[in-house]
Amino acid sequence: MSYQHIRVSYADRVANVELHRPEARNGFTVLMADELAAALAAADADEAVRVVILSGAGKDFCVGADLSGQSLEVTNTDIPGGAWVEPATRVARQLFMLRKPVIAAIQGAAVGVGSTMILPADFRLAARNSRFGFVFSRRGIYPEAGSCWFLPRLVGLGRAMDWMVSGRLVPAEEALGAGLVQSLHEPEALADAAQALARELVDSTAPVSVAVIRQALYRMSALPSPEPAFALDSQLIASLGESADALEGVMAFMQKRPARFSRTVTQDLPTFLPWQEARR
């Protein structure tokens, strides 16, 4: 597929998805949103892809919505039933639904949607020169991309309240200390760090296990009781007798060799997962 505001490449079972408007500091547009959603969906459906790396071209990850020339949609009150989906949510929802791990590599400014779109990623690696900003209160607008759901789960309600209500810029060190990002790197070393992490995930983890774990953490941790998690865990553990991956994982450990997992997310996900209906 041909893209205008992003670039996508594939290598070593990794899909590299790059915001590509460096002349506009990767200002976010409706076209970019729809292209990102399409690229993420394609990566999710491709068994050759095991990991997605999300990055930005140039010195900044994304400086927020590009409102020049009315290039970003706002609400459309003519659509009945509230069917319109704002652009940042189109990306965040696809990231949330993904069955592959996502590594966000952030450098420079990640402001507004530049901060909210990365919240559903599994790993956020940042350059030491990065800065984050949930600046909505300072623009008279509202947070998007489900960020009021994601951010408190990552950094706690108190910190999320601080960052969102004040709208202040958050430096890289503070983001690291709060748990928004996992590690900091020199700007020139960021891409290599993301690729190294992707390689570890490709070489060491089972795709079906990762897909189940990723969604279970999101879906189960938000429930008011662990009882649904207890029930699901019992079903999952009971199904291991039929899992070639489980046998291979044990044998590889015993024989001190790399595992060669054969099950695929398109064919071998457990049929009883309670969130499967949402994908249909």
Residue 46's pLDDT is what?
A: 96
Full DSSP string of 218-248: HHHHTSS-SHHHHHHHHHHHHGGGG-HHHHH
Instruction: Please report the pLDDT score of residue 277 as a whole number.
Output: 66
The segment(s) of the chain belonging to CATH 1.10.12 are 206-279
Query: Residue length, the chain?
Result: 280
Cα dihedral 144→146→151→153 (10° resolution): 170
What is 86-118 written as a DSSP string?
-HHHHHHHHHHH-SS-EEEEE-SEEETHHHHTT
Out of 2.60.120, 1.10.12, 3.30.310, 1.25.40, which CATH number does the structure's domain 206-279 have? 1.10.12
From-to residues of CATH 3.90.226.10 in the chain: 6-202
Sequence-ordered alpha helix ranges (H) in 143-206 = 147-155, 157-166, 172-178, 190-204
Q: What is the pLDDT of residue 213?
A: 97
Euclidean distance between CA atoms 234 and 217, whole angstroms: 16
CATH, domain range 6-202: 3.90.226.10
Question: What phi and psi values does residue 109 have, to the nearest 5 degrees?
Answer: -80, 135
pLDDT at position 83, please? 82
Per-residue pLDDT tens listing for the chain (280 residues): 799 999 999 999 999 999 999 999 999 999 999 999 999 999 999 999 999 999 999 999 999 999 776 555 665 555 556 688 999 999 999 999 999 999 999 999 999 999 999 999 999 999 999 999 999 999 999 999 999 999 999 999 999 999 999 999 999 999 999 999 999 999 999 999 999 999 999 999 999 999 999 999 999 998 999 999 999 999 999 999 989 999 999 999 999 999 999 999 999 999 999 988 656 5
CA pair distance 4, 20, nearest whole angstrom = 8
pTM above 0.85, yes or no: yes
Alpha carbon of residue 170 to chain centroid: 20
The whole-number pLDDT of residue 67 equals 78
Q: Which two tokens stand for residue 201?
A: 């995930």
pLDDT of residue 70: 56
